[in-house]
């Protein structure tokens, strides 16, 4: 009954260190590690230093900052015994941009604790609180507990990157160049969510991503809409027509070949998904919408997980200030991303998009299509030791067996880990879908943060036992 002893102890560790665990996470959250914006490059660098230092303080024997062509990767290694199994913990210390900043109730980089309906015991509000600093820090603190108590039953490696929010391009290169260094038995990632604080779950599917930027150019300069309007193609009108044509009346994506490799999900699996707790009225009321909107023939949960999508993430062009300006602009832009399902190749889809978008442009405009980044989707099996160790750990701390769940989000690097390192991942996230990641007022429940620190040590214990 080793697991139970450790559980009591990790619980006690949390109980006795609550204030310190919160204060240390706050320091982490104060650093503006926005990877997408070059203006924050110095903050991202400083954040890598903070992570390395935290690993050192946790007692991790070897740490280093690995420079890349972009933001650095923090690497750590704590080898208990070469014969024991090795867990590679992956996470990211970079965060999404905070804008629109004016919609935050508090400074996104000055963490504060407030209670919410979902988090009556309090949640910490800051950009990156849940995605992914709070979840990375659970691993640092779980390691600290296990190392200092001398209870670590396996070897640990850490790979915490700074470019997850911009496509992990340099991590991909790093992984390919460091196959020996990264040798392990499994990868453990906390960058996903559970269904609810009383409905634990483990993510077993991720969508892939293809992210494009398009530029439509009409005339070579901004024109007066009175003098030229009606006679010269307006790039905004044309861009709207082009975007509108990408989805038909049934909300199917019209790019030729787009669905060719989509793997259909069996009726059994869809039936099982349908049994997960979900209330459409609650869903609509939480978002204040009168109706959902998606691909014909699929439920809301299916649309958001097992089906591919196309969303405009940003659009701009012409006059966007106060008042009225009668301009016929020279250019219009959009950022368009597609979520992909397992078997769709993201690079192939990006190419299909580009060719299609160029083909449908009328002769009156010029278009430029630039792929941003992308990644493969993934399906995680539930019948291997690491999944079972994670499931058992959650069952102990939550008192309920977690539900295997397919998520609509993307962690493109998961497919690359499997391809390059031959390693499966366990998606051991503790966030909630309502934590407003990527939105103003992102937060992370203290319940979830502490629960993670309690549960991770049990995973190590269970995993070591199962691998014996």
Point out the residues that are catalytic. 94, 164
x/- letters, 215..234, toward its own copies (CB under 8 A):
---xxxxxxxxxxxxxxxxx
CB-CB neighbours of 23 under 10 Å: 11
The least distance separating its own copies from the CB of residue 433, rounded to whole angstroms, comes to: 5
DSSP 419: I
| Half-sphere exposure at residue 383, Cβ-oriented, CA atoms within 13 angstroms | 0
* Residue of 63, 203, 301, 391 that binds its own copies (CB under 8 A): 301
What SS3 class is residue 297?
coil
Query: Which region among 29-37, 109-117, 136-144, 386-394 touches its own copies (by CB under 8 A)?
Result: 29-37
> Segment 91-120, which members bind its own copies (CB under 8 A)?
96-97, 99-100, 103
> Segment 181-200, which members bind its own copies (CB under 8 A)?
193
* Residue of 92, 119, 139, 207 that binds its own copies (CB under 8 A): 207
Query: Which region among 49-57, 66-74, 266-274, 332-340 touches its own copies (by CB under 8 A)?
Result: 332-340
Q: Which one, 152 or 338, has the nearer CB to its own copies?
A: 338
Query: Which region among 75-83, 142-150, 262-270, 357-365 touches its own copies (by CB under 8 A)?
Result: 357-365
Q: Which one, 200 or 235, has the nearer CB to its own copies?
A: 235
Q: Which one, 366 or 467, has the nearer CB to its own copies?
A: 366
Q: How far apart are the first and last CA of the chain?
A: 16
Q: Which one, 75 or 346, has the nearer CB to its own copies?
A: 346
- What one-character-per-residue DSSP string does 42-81 give? HHHHHHHHHHHHHHHHHT-SEEEEE--SSS-EEEEEE-S-
* Residue of 31, 89, 140, 239 that binds its own copies (CB under 8 A): 239
Q: Are 233 and 365 in contact (CB under 8 A)?
A: yes
> Segment 381-400, which members bind its own copies (CB under 8 A)?
none
* Residue of 171, 334, 349, 414 that binds its own copies (CB under 8 A): 334
Cα 438 to Cα 96: distance, rounded to the nearest angstrom: 6
Query: Which region among 18-26, 137-145, 180-188, 366-374 touches its own copies (by CB under 8 A)?
Result: 366-374
> Segment 240-269, which members bind its own copies (CB under 8 A)?
240-241, 243-245, 247
The least distance separating its own copies from the CB of residue 252, rounded to whole angstroms, comes to: 11
Report residue 404: phi and psi, to 5°: -70, 130
Query: Which region among 60-68, 76-84, 292-300, 449-457 touches its own copies (by CB under 8 A)?
Result: 292-300
CA dihedral 373, 101, 408, 435 (to 10 degrees): 140
> Segment 135-174, which members bind its own copies (CB under 8 A)?
165-167
Is residue 8 close enough to count as binding its own copies by CB under 8 A? no
Q: Which one, 211 or 450, has the nearer CB to its own copies?
A: 211
Q: Are 156 and 392 in contact (CB under 8 A)?
A: no
Cα 189 to Cα 425: distance, rounded to the nearest angstrom: 7
What SS3 class is residue 103?
helix
Which residue has 């999944």 as its token pair?
387
> Segment 406-445, which members bind its own copies (CB under 8 A)?
407-410, 433, 436-441
What SS3 class is residue 91?
strand
- Pairing verdict, β 201-206 and 403-406: parallel
Cα 75 to Cα 73: distance, rounded to the nearest angstrom: 6
Q: Which one, 180 or 322, has the nearer CB to its own copies?
A: 322
Q: Which one, 404 or 440, has the nearer CB to its own copies?
A: 440
* Residue of 71, 133, 141, 373 that binds its own copies (CB under 8 A): 373
The least distance separating its own copies from the CB of residue 122, rounded to whole angstroms, comes to: 20
The footprint of its own copies on this chain (CB under 8 A) covers a number of residues equal to 104
Cα 305 to Cα 249: distance, rounded to the nearest angstrom: 21
CA distances (Å), origin 235, targets 44, 240, 314, 316, 463:
36, 8, 16, 11, 57
257: left (phi over 0), alpha (psi -120 to 50) or beta: left
Q: Which one, 181 or 298, has the nearer CB to its own copies?
A: 298
The least distance separating its own copies from the CB of residue 336, rounded to whole angstroms, comes to: 9
| Half-sphere exposure at residue 166, Cβ-oriented, CA atoms within 13 angstroms | 19
User: Token pair for residue 41?
Assistant: 């490059």
């Amino acid at each position: 009954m080793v697991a139970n002893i450790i559980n009591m102890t990790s619980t006690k560790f949390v109980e006795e260190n609550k204030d310190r665990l919160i204060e240390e996470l706050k320091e982490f959250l104060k650093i503006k590690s926005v990877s997408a914006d070059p203006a924050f490059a110095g903050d991202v660098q400083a954040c890598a230093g903070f992570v390395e230092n935290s690993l050192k303080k946790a007692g991790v024997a070897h740490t280093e900052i690995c420079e890349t062509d972009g933001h650095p990767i923090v690497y750590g290694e704590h080898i208990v015994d070469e014969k024991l199994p090795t867990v590679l913990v992956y996470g990211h210390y970079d965060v999404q941009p905070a804008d629109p900043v004016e919609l935050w109730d508090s400074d996104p980089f000055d963490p504060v604790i407030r209670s919410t309906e979902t988090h009556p015991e309090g949640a910490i509000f800051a950009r990156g609180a849940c995605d992914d600093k709070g979840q990375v820090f659970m691993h640092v603190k779980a390691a600290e507990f296990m190392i200092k108590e001398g209870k670590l039953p396996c070897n640990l490696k850490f790979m915490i990157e700074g470019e997850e929010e911009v496509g992990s391009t340099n991590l991909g290169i790093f992984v390919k160049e460091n196959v020996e260094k990264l040798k392990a038995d499994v990868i453990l990632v906390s960058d996903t969510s559970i269904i609810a604080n009383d409905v634990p779950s483990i993510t077993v599917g991720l969508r892939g991503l293809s992210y494009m930027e398009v530029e439509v150019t009409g005339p070579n300069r901004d024109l007066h809409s009175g003098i030229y309007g009606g006679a010269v193609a307006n790039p905004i009108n044309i861009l709207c027509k082009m975007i509108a044509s990408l989805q038909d009346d049934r909300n199917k994506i019209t790019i030729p070949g787009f669905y060719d490799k989509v793997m259909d999900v069996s009726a059994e699996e869809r039936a099982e998904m349908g049994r997960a707790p979900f209330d459409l009225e609650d869903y609509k009321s939480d978002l204040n919408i009168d109706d959902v909107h998606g691909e014909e023939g699929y439920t809301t949960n299916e649309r958001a997980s097992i089906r591919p999508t196309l969303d405009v993430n940003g659009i701009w062009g012409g006059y966007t200030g106060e008042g009225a300006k009668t301009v016929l602009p020279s250019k219009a832009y959009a950022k368009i991303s597609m979520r992909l399902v397992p078997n769709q190749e993201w690079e192939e889809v990006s190419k299909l998009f580009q060719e299609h978008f160029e083909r449908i442009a009328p002769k009156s405009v010029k278009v430029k299509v630039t792929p941003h980044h992308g990644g493969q989707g993934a399906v995680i099996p539930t019948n291997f030791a690491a999944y079972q160790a994670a499931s058992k750990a959650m069952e102990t701390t939550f008192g309920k067996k977690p539900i295997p769940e397919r998520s609509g989000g993307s962690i493109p690097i998961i497919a690359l880990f499997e391809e390059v390192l031959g390693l499966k991942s366990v998606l051991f996230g503790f966030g909630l879908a309502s934590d407003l990641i990527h939105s103003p007022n992102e937060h992370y429940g203290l319940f979830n943060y502490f629960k993670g620190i309690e549960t991770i040590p049990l995973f190590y214990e269970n995993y070591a036992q199962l691998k014996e």
